[in-house]
Amino acid sequence: MTHRIGYLVGSLSSTSINRTLSTALIRLAPDTLEFTEIPIGDLPLYSPDFDGDYPAAGRALKDAIEASDGILIVSPEYNRSIPGALKNAIDWGSRPWGQNSFARKPTGIIGASIGQIGTAVMQASMRSVLSFLDAPQLNSPEAYIHFDADVFGDDGEVRDESTAGFLRHYMEEYCAFVERVLAVNAPGHIGDPDPYRD
């Protein structure tokens, strides 16, 4: 069974190392995952003034999230936190109030940096946001990628077998996590409350 995964790249840079990382992850992922990028670059800044009449870009974002079986976030860390464009996209996807598109979507977070600590602080901030949004998260393995241009090719090739093995393992674990969450959330699951019980 194939699962549709929507992925968000948190950088708007045309030379983003995290876009390169996303290409590598897709190349190393199990064949049962089918990937579609959810673009975030054309969104205006979110304001509650839009809640009554969402613009086309905001509606397209929410539709793409809702059409996905799982979400993968591949992002840099800006100033020890979530990049503004990515946080803006999350705000759009979670609104209007009561129409949170991220709810119950199995989510993975990974990121690359040229620094030694990868994107650890950004990911900690993102986990807090996703917890509030009721988006189940893959908590292990954690993946803070130190980016080396000699290791990652633009076409998704990972030239170091140790790095490729780790990323392959991460995607296998993410795939298994998506399957577990979807099984629990399936209609008629034994743990679901009876909607007719008072």
CA neighbor of 173 nearest in space, from 52, 60, 28: 28
Q: Check residue 5 and give its pLDDT.
A: 98
Spatial distance between the Cα atoms of 81 and 126, rounded to a whole number of angstroms: 8
Q: What are the tens digits of pLDDT across the range 121-134?
A: 999 999 999 999 99
Q: What is the per-residue burial (b if ≥16 Cβ within 10 Å, else e) of 154-180? A: eeeebeeeebbebbbebbeebbebbbe
User: Residue 187 domain-assigned?
Assistant: no
pTM here is 0.92
Averaged pLDDT, 64-93: 98
- Number of domains into which the chain is organized: 1
Q: What are the tens digits of pLDDT across the range 39-60?
A: 999 999 999 999 999 999 999 9
Q: Check residue 116 and give its pLDDT.
A: 83
| Residue recorded with tokens 């045309």 | 14
pLDDT-based confidence at 151, cuts 50/70/90?
very high
User: Residue 38 domain-assigned?
Assistant: yes
Q: Check residue 188 and give its pLDDT.
A: 55
CA distances from 45 to 50, 61, 67 (A): 10, 13, 23
Report whether 77 contacts 111 (CB < 8 A): yes
User: Residue 130 domain-assigned?
Assistant: yes
User: Residue 99 domain-assigned?
Assistant: yes
**What CATH number is associated with residue 107?**
3.40.50.360
Average pLDDT along the chain: 93
User: Residue 133 domain-assigned?
Assistant: yes
pLDDT of 190 > 80? The answer is no
User: Residue 197 domain-assigned?
Assistant: no
% of the chain exceeding 90 in pLDDT:
90
CA neighbor of 112 nearest in space, from 144, 136, 135, 157: 144
User: Residue 37 domain-assigned?
Assistant: yes
Q: Which residues span the domain enclosing 104? A: 3-182
User: Residue 60 domain-assigned?
Assistant: yes
